[in-house]
Amino acid sequence: MILPILIYGHPLLRKRCLEIEKFSNSNKINSLIKNMYDTMGKAQGIGLAAPQIGISLRLFIIEYNNFYKKKFKQVFINPKILKIYGSYLITKEGCLSIPNILENIIRKNHLILEYYDENWKKYKQHFNGLLSIIIQHEYDHIEGKFFLDHISDTKKLFLHNQLKKISAKINPNPINPNTNNNLHF
């Protein structure tokens, strides 16, 4: 099922998300994950975090083909960044919740992440390069942050009017995790 993506300015996007209990209803989690992949695919994204669809849980997904046409597809439940290190990379980032804005963002190119997959298998894994950048971007979402939080105040001022127009289009009917919509955990 394609779900609405919350737009910049929605208050839920600025909240730190809650951890998912390990023994939560796996059918609901799997349904949520499937819906997230459907939504991300329709929006032509490479990553999507649960708060972007109105669910305040520590969950994000990534699916993309790298330069060598190798597909990477992964679910990240309750991720924790243990270490960010290495040299800095400047990449042009965009966001499904902030349409039509791309900005150069500086991030370190290595990280060590601890997380669970959709089968509750625990991983402690090193990621580097573009994959590290994508993970940091999605991780920001579950922390209540945006990639724009990494730009200068001058650039934010320059983008102010565009962001104001985007936030004026906030979806008035997001999924509410406190209602009976079969996505409640």
Residue 93 lies inside a defined structural domain of this protein: yes
Question: Is the separation of the CB atoms in 175 and 181 below 8 Å?
Answer: yes
Residue 85 lies inside a defined structural domain of this protein: yes
Domain range holding 162? Answer: 11-167
Question: Which residues of the chain register pLDDT less than 70?
Answer: 23-24, 67-69, 170-185
Q: What confidence score (pLDDT) does residue 23 get? A: 65
Residue 181 lies inside a defined structural domain of this protein: no
**DSSP state letter for 109:** E
Query: Residue 76's beta-bridge partner residues?
Result: 60
List pLDDT tens digits, range 23-53. 667 889 999 999 999 999 999 999 999 999 9
For residues 29 and 8, give the distance between their C-alpha atoms in angstroms, rounded to a whole number.
25
Residue 179 lies inside a defined structural domain of this protein: no
51 sits in which H/E element: none
Q: Is 21 a catalytic residue?
A: no
For residues 56 and 74, give the distance between their C-alpha atoms in angstroms, rounded to a whole number.
19
* Candidate list 21, 93, 118, 138, residue with the active-site label: 138
CATH number at residue 134: 3.90.45.10
Smallest Cα–Cα separation from 60: which of 84, 29, 28, 36? Answer: 36
CA 69 to chain centre: 23
List pLDDT tens digits, range 90-109. 999 999 999 999 999 999 99
Report the length, in residues, of the chain: 185
pTM for the whole structure:
0.88
Question: Percentages helix, strand, coil for the chain, rounded to the nearest 5?
Answer: 30, 35, 35
Residue 127 lies inside a defined structural domain of this protein: yes
For residues 156 and 158, give the distance between their C-alpha atoms in angstroms, rounded to a whole number.
5
Residue 183 lies inside a defined structural domain of this protein: no
Q: What confidence score (pLDDT) does residue 25 get? A: 74
Residue 122 lies inside a defined structural domain of this protein: yes
Looking at the 3D structure of the chain, how many domains does it have? 1
Residue 5 lies inside a defined structural domain of this protein: no
